[in-house]
Structure 1
Amino acid sequence: MTRSQLIVLALLLVSGRVISAEISIDKARETLKNYGLANCISGQFKDESEIKSDIGLAIGAYSSMGKGQHLIVQNEDTLEVTHDPYAETEKYMRNAYARTSSVSKHSDKKMVFYGCLEVYNSAEFDAFVKSQDQYLPK
């Protein structure tokens, strides 16, 4: 192989890693967003049901014990959690949902799915999720 062919090959390998890293970050963000959406919906229903149970399984699948890629940070000496991206996502969704105006003209009750999707699809939630990138493995 010539030197220029080796350089091209090296660039392709490096760019492939960069693309792979971007895909991994995008997937990690998507998983954290899905975790937030599932928690938002589930948190609005107090009674147990098949749907709530199913959403609970999804929450587990999207968590750090499932497909979640974000790291929970602990103090090495005390093992106290110093940052939990999943708990922060739950808190963010709970607070943002409380601020949504998703009352139907046909009912006085808030439309849970609609309100949670409003938060999920917001630029603010996207920015929050990106702020958690620092807790992804390097």
Structure 2
Amino acid sequence: MKRINALLLLLAAACSTAQATSTVEAARQSLKNYGLANCLGERFPEPSAMGQDVRHAIGMYGVLGAGLHNVLQNEDTLETLHDPYNATTDYVTAAYARASGRSKYSPTKVVLHACLEVYNSRAFDDFIQTQDRYIRDDS
């Protein structure tokens, strides 16, 4: 009986850890997708189907949509102390400026290529992990 109880406790702990890990991974992926949408959105500001679709995605991944991160505010003054979404936008903007995105077929930077270069970089993954402390704990 003690072995069964120990096994049940171990399984419960494993499930809890797996759920916490999947929550963290989902939050990271959501914030990363938000960053990609912002990277594209800043480059297609004109009213087009692509621009409109990207702006919808930004809203969906953002704090007012299905965002999984909290914005840290001073409770008395409501001053924003840290916004993971703004921080991600700032990061992506700076990283995009450094991305090559060059093609022999275009005299200018290829937006999608440069944004995907940022999105797929280890540095972006590292940045996204720095935002883990702002992940919502809805338990």
Give TM-score, length-normalised by structure 2: 0.95
The answer to whether 1:52 aligns with 2:51 is yes
- Tell me the CA shift for residue 46 of structure 1: 2.6
Query: Counterpart in 1 of 2:70?
Result: 71
| CA deviation profile, 1:22-54 (whole Å, cap 9, x unmatched) | 011001000000000000011012311011101
* Amino acid in the other structure paired with 2:30: T
- Aligned position for 2:131: 132
Aligned residues: 137
What amino acid sits opposite 1:119 in the alignment?
V
Q: Residue type of the partner of 2:88?
A: T
Structure 1 stretches of at least 4 aligned residues deviating more than 4 Å after TM superposition:
none
Q: Which residue of 2 aligns with 1:93?
A: 92
Aligned partners of 1:45, 1:137: CA distance in 2, in Å? 31
User: How far, CA to CA, are the matches of 2:89 and 2:115 in structure 1?
Assistant: 12
Aligned-partner Cα distance in 2 for 1:65–1:47: 23
1:107 deviation in Å? 1.8
1:109 corresponds in structure 2 to 108
Which runs of 5 or more structure 2 residues have no equivalent in the other structure?
none
Aligned-pair CA distance for 1:84: 0.2
Provide Cα deviations, 1:36-81, integer angstroms capped at 9, x if missing partner: 0000011012311011101111111111122211110000110000
Instruction: Structure 1 unaligned segments of length 5 or more: list them.
Output: none
Q: Secondary structure at the match of 1:82?
A: strand
Distance 2:105 2:53 in 1: 28
CA contact under 8 A between 2:36 and 2:116: conserved in structure 1? yes
Q: Which residue number corresponds to residue 19 of structure 1?
A: 18
Aligned match of 2:80? 81
| 2:30 paired residue number | 31
- TM-score (norm: length of structure 1): 0.96
Q: What secondary structure is seen at the aligned counterpart in 2 of 1:88?
A: helix
When the two chains are superposed, the root-mean-square deviation of aligned CA atoms in Å is 0.9
- How much identity, in percent, do the aligned residues show? 45
